[in-house]
Amino acid sequence: MIAMPPIGFIILINPRSPIAQTERLIRKLNRMFDHPPIACHQDFGQNPEFVKDPTPNVKVVRPHVATGWGVFGCVEATIKCLQLLYPEGGEGPEWFVYLSGADYPIKSAGRILADLQASPYDGHIEHNLLTGADLNHYPPHPDYPRGYKSATWLKQCENRYCTLRLDVRGINRYLRPSTRTFWLRHPLITSGRLPFGPEFKCHCGEVWYCANHRCARRLIGFFDCNPQVNQHYRKSRVPEESYPHTVLANDPSLKLSQDYLRYIDWTRGGSNPKVLTMEDLPHLRETRAHFARKFDEAVDAAILDELDRMTE
């Protein structure tokens, strides 16, 4: 019997970002993990460029899925990458890590593999309960006291996934066309129109995560067999911050950790994390996270050079 590779990677490439940084990430993963299975998605409709001379361990989703900020295509692209890593009737890696081209490893291969192989969990994925939760008294996240990870974000997620959105068009006081949005959440209105309930509760969390082959098979199988849930998320904004979290958290056979093992600095608030630079190196050394984001070679390439020295 052929042993399962210990780790594989999914890389969703931002078509608006320079491909060179993704190329650097793939070279780094190849050096660290001896050419592990890597599945990439690039929206060739937006950017026809791809990694130059990819090694045989790198597979690419074809035909591609149309992607964009906060659209269901990002979920579909992830599932298609998983299908490449875990083909029907075939083996796949014991663990997979979900990355973008703006991510980079901050721990050695030995440390990453040892942590995952010793993990008592099936998945490391943040999963905040929305269905039936009192968001006004939700325990604050210790690392994100304000901004993106505040209670305001949780309530925004509730609006995205657990309500029916009604857009009413009209004329504002300046006699210009306008649209008012109402979020309908009363059970008498939403009953039967949302896929969530006591047996299938909605969750949300950070996009990036890592999980084992059991989680991968669960995500693939659920996607194929639950078109009604897919359709609900297809109409939702930013479904990638809820879809996998909800699918995995509702499977009682899976044990999940809230620690998604990714270092991201949201402390400046807003909807985008801080671009990491050399000034962040002490935090990257101290964190137990395996990967960090986001990096931008145009802003600071020296931090990636230092991480190469630190992890090899």
Average pLDDT over residues 292-306: 95
- Could you read off the pLDDT of 76-99 as tens digits, one per residue? 999 999 999 999 878 899 999 999
Is the bond leading into 155 cis (omega within 30 degrees of zero)?
no
- For residue 303, what pLDDT is reported? 97
- For residue 139, what pLDDT is reported? 62
Nearest 5 degrees, angle CA 146-CA 151-CA 154?
Answer: 120
Q: Cα separation of 18 and 15, whole Å?
A: 8
Q: Cα separation of 77 and 43, whole Å?
A: 9
Q: Looking at the domain covering 7-131+202-311, what would its CATH class be?
A: alpha beta
Task: Select the more confidently predicted residue: 305 or 51.
Answer: 305
- For residue 146, what pLDDT is reported? 41
For the chain, give every domain's residue range: 7-131+202-311, 147-190
At a CB cut-off of 8 Å and minimum separation 6, what does 27 contact? none
- Could you read off the pLDDT of 128-167 as tens digits, one per residue? 999 887 777 666 555 544 444 556 788 889 889 998 877 8
Average pLDDT for the chain: 90
| C-beta neighbour count of 150 within 10 angstroms | 17
Torsion of CA 28, 34, 38, 43, to 10 degrees: 30
Among 157, 116, 143, 153, residue whose Cα is nearest residue 245: 157
Exposure string (b/e) for 34-47, b if CB count within 10 Å is 16 or more?
eebbbbbbbbbeee
What type of residue is 298?
A
Q: What backbone torsions phi and psi does residue 196 show, to the nearest 5 degrees?
A: -100, 155
Is the bond leading into 63 cis (omega within 30 degrees of zero)?
yes
DSSP H/E element including 177: strand 177-184
- Could you read off the pLDDT of 94-114 as tens digits, one per residue? 999 999 999 999 999 999 999
- For residue 138, what pLDDT is reported? 66
Q: Are 112 and 290 spatial neighbours (Cβ–Cβ below 8 Å)? A: yes
Q: What is the pTM of this model?
A: 0.90
- Could you read off the pLDDT of 13-69 as tens digits, one per residue? 998 888 999 999 999 999 999 999 999 999 999 999 998 889 999 999 999 999 998
- Could you read off the pLDDT of 193-233 as tens digits, one per residue? 899 988 999 999 999 999 999 999 999 999 999 999 999 99
Residue 176 confidence (pLDDT) above 90? no
Confidence of residue 252 (pLDDT cuts 50, 70, 90): very high
Per-residue CA distances from 67 to 72, 101, 199, 209, 261 (Å)? 8, 15, 31, 19, 25
- For residue 148, what pLDDT is reported? 47
